[in-house]
Amino acid sequence: MIPAGHPSIPRPRVGVLLINLGTPDAAEPKAVKRYLAEFLSDRRVVELPQIAWQPILRGIILTTRPKKSAHAYSQVWREDGSPLAAITRAQALALEGAFGDGVMVDWAMRYGRPAIADRLQAMKDAGCERILLSPLYPQYCAATTATANDKAFAKLATMRWQPAIRTLPPYYDDPDYIDALAQSVREGLAALDFTPDAVMASFHGMPQRTLERGDPYHCHCQKTGRLLGEALGMKLTITFQSRFGRAKWLEPATDTVLAAMPGNGVKKVAIVAPGFSADCVETLEELSIRGRETFEEAGGTHFAYLPCLNDSVRGIEMLRAVIARELEGWAPRP
């Protein structure tokens, strides 16, 4: 029996918090500047001494880049907002109820809103005594997976009554993930009105030093590409996009490869982005728009970008299977 005057305690629940990278609140320079300031101040993202980096960030990058980035966002912005936020929200809604009545599914962004700390507090207030942090990065990288978990742990450090926590492991070689990717790519290729001379798997780039310092990201990407190619019965061209700054980044670079392909006889290409769980400015603008321009200006004749798994039925089934395994012992398998 609850004693008289005791504070109300909600029914105990389990929580699943989907986490993705983040996005500005609007496709305009002021919002983009705010977003970039948070993103590029993360020491997991830019591993340079802050005394050297911050003057560059504040004095050069944040005065020149927001306008250019805002234009890129404006090209892909939807009526319901940023594609990344809209799709992550849709994924959370599609998974609500997938693990039973006692499991709550929510979503957050590492940078921007909704903030990880805010959603963790909301889940705890709703009775979630156990929470699975689920960064939606198939391949592990300190600059993505680790920083998302860092932000959650920082919030936990302020809480008197902490929920029990688990973290979703990377699923770069998970059979459910590879199978979902392969089926999606097969359907995408079958719907084209041309047969590609090459199929490219473009992953988000990282500085070369991340590999040298022991980050497994490059190896995870290569394995995903190999397994996906084997499932499709073809060899994929694996590349890395989104280079930034003067440091050496993982190679080969997507834009460089696209520019060289027509001269090497590859006039028809299709691109898939297996490192992204949801389409975003890096896929919809950088690959689908600028990638096409680069390829066609170099002499390419046919170009196609194949969407991410997003909140498709196949994509949601894959996430449900991957997350359900991590909830073993906390929630009955659906």
Q: What is the pLDDT of residues 164-185, one digit of tens each?
A: 999 999 999 999 999 999 999 9
Asked if pLDDT for residue 274 goes beyond 90, the answer is: yes
Residue from 282, 271, 278 nearest 305 by CA: 271
Same domain, 298 and 182: yes
Q: What is the CA radius of gyration of the chain?
A: 21
Does residue 333 lie within any of the structural domains?
no
Contact 91, 316 (CB under 8 A): yes
Does residue 291 lie within any of the structural domains?
yes
Residue with tokens 């769980």: 277
Cα gap 22→249, rounded to integer Å = 22
Same domain, 258 and 275: yes
pLDDT score for 65: 94
* Strand partners of residue 199: 270
Contact 106, 133 (CB under 8 A): no
Q: What is the dihedral of CA 166, 146, 311, 101, to 10 degrees?
A: 20
Count of H-run helices and E-run strands, the chain: 13, 8
How much of the chain, in percent, has pLDDT values that exceed 90? 94
Residue with tokens 């709703």: 126
Q: How large is the average pLDDT for residues 243-265?
A: 94
Does residue 2 lie within any of the structural domains?
no
Residue from 161, 145, 148, 166 nearest 16 by CA: 166
Determine the structural domain holding residue 56 and report its residue range: 13-171+314-326
Same domain, 188 and 253: yes
Same domain, 139 and 210: no
Asked if pLDDT for residue 209 goes beyond 70, the answer is: yes
Please tell me the total count of domains within the chain: 2
Same domain, 142 and 203: no
Q: Alpha carbon of 90 to those of 80, 177, 195, 238: distances in Å? A: 11, 19, 32, 29
List, for residues 54-101, the tens digit of each pLDDT value. 999 999 999 999 999 999 999 999 999 999 999 999 999 999 999 999
List, for residues 317-330, the tens digit of each pLDDT value. 999 999 999 999 99
Amino acid letter, residue 323: I
Same domain, 27 and 139: yes
Does residue 242 lie within any of the structural domains?
yes
Same domain, 188 and 300: yes
Does residue 215 lie within any of the structural domains?
yes
Asked if pLDDT for residue 7 goes beyond 90, the answer is: no
Cα gap 222→112, rounded to integer Å = 30
Same domain, 41 and 90: yes
The two three-digit tokens of residue 43, written as one number:
């020491």
| Pure H helices in the chain | 29-39, 50-56, 62-76, 83-95, 116-125, 147-156, 175-190, 208-212, 217-232, 254-260, 281, 292-297, 313-326
Cα gap 83→288, rounded to integer Å = 14
CB atoms within 10 A of CB 186: 14
* CATH code, domain with 270: 3.40.50.1400
Asked if pLDDT for residue 22 goes beyond 90, the answer is: yes
Residues in Cβ contact with 95 at an 8 Å cutoff, skipping those fewer than 6 apart = 16, 18, 105, 316, 319, 320, 323
pTM given for the model = 0.94
Contact 133, 19 (CB under 8 A): yes
Does residue 229 lie within any of the structural domains?
yes
Asked if pLDDT for residue 10 goes beyond 60, the answer is: yes
Label residue 129 by pLDDT band (50, 70, 90): very high
Same domain, 17 and 161: yes
Q: Alpha carbon of 241 to those of 39, 71, 115, 289, 320: distances in Å? A: 18, 19, 26, 14, 29
Label residue 244 by pLDDT band (50, 70, 90): confident
Cα gap 324→322, rounded to integer Å = 6
Does residue 8 lie within any of the structural domains?
no
CB atoms within 10 A of CB 113: 14
Same domain, 319 and 191: no
pLDDT score for 258: 98
Label residue 229 by pLDDT band (50, 70, 90): very high
pLDDT score for 6: 60
Cα gap 287→76, rounded to integer Å = 12
How much of the chain, in percent, has pLDDT values that exceed 70? 97
Asked if pLDDT for residue 283 goes beyond 70, the answer is: yes
Does residue 5 lie within any of the structural domains?
no
Same domain, 163 and 193: no
Same domain, 59 and 158: yes
Label residue 1 by pLDDT band (50, 70, 90): low
Average pLDDT value for the chain:
95
